[in-house]
């Protein structure tokens, strides 16, 4: 199985609104990859304006924003180090559902990968400790 870090394919793409500085909403072009949500100024953008990680340290939830563009459906992406998280909005409820589902799948993939890495590391440590116990036995015939 290919890990999320090795995959570099686009999962979802489309227009999202982003709350900028808590004041105004800006229409952006979003590309969801397995490891990050990239927000571009527009569809022709070559460098993302915002990179939101998609990993086990991120949480997402549907949200209502009083000042969001009319007819949009909001959600929040909470990222460590970003007070208040990233406030985003999709044009339809279905689109918001797609974004939430696919981002959550990316988060879950990273949680699974992290759990596997922890398990493998703990197993390696146990095996090393068991091997050390075996090395403590003296098989020499000298008295």
The CATH number given to whatever domain includes residue 95 is: 2.30.29.30
Task: Report d(CA 14, CA 32) in Å as an integer.
Answer: 9
pLDDT of residue 7: 43
**What's the pLDDT tens digit per position in 71-114?**
899 999 999 888 889 999 999 999 999 999 999 998 888 888 87
Residue 50 forms part of a structural domain? yes
Sequential DSSP letters for 32-67: EETTEEEEESSTT-SS-SEEEE-STTEEEEEE--TT
Structural domain including 27 reads: 12-135
Report how many domains make up the chain: 1
Share of the chain above pLDDT 90, in %: 45
pTM: 0.72
């Amino acid at each position: 199985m290919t890990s999320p870090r090795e995959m570099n394919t686009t999962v979802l793409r489309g227009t999202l609104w982003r709350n900028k500085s808590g004041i105004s909403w800006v229409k952006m072009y979003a590309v969801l990859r397995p490891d990050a949500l990239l927000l571009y100024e527009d569809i022709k953008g070559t460098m993302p304006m915002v990179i939101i990680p998609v990993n086990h340290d991120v949480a997402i939830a549907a949200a209502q924003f009083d000042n969001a563009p009319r007819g949009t459906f909001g959600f929040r992406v909470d990222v460590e180090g970003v007070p208040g998280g990233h406030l985003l909005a999709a044009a339809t409820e279905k689109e918001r559902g797609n974004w939430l589902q696919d981002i959550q799948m990316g988060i879950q993939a990273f949680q699974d990968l992290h759990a596997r890495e922890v398990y493998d590391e703990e197993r390696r440590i146990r095996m090393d400790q068991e091997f050390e116990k075996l090395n403590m036995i003296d098989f020499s015939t000298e008295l």
